[in-house]
Amino acid sequence: MMWLCVAAYGVHVLEEFVFDWQNWARSVLHLAALWSDFYITNALVILLGVVAAEIAPTWPALALG
């Protein structure tokens, strides 16, 4: 189940990239959004998801936390 969550987040990242998240965030949320922030943030979330999926069989509560 944790791997499915990582995959779903990966699809979400692709969706944001394809539909130009940066311009949307600037026009709607008035954020000074940069693509470098997008890449770093999403890479860290994917890494955290992979770590959580790997430790889930041993420490499920920690993985879900």
Is 43:60 a contact under the CB 8 Å cutoff?
Answer: no
Indicate the number of domains in the chain: 1
The confidence band for 64, taking pLDDT boundaries of 50, 70 and 90, is: confident
Domain containing 49 equals 2-64
Distance CA 52, CA 45 (A): 10
- Determine the pLDDT at residue 57: 93
- pTM comes to 0.82
Q: What is the pLDDT of residues 4-58, one digit of tens each?
A: 999 999 999 999 999 998 899 999 999 888 889 899 999 999 999 999 999 999 9
- Crossing angle of helices 35-55 and 2-18, in 10° steps, is 170
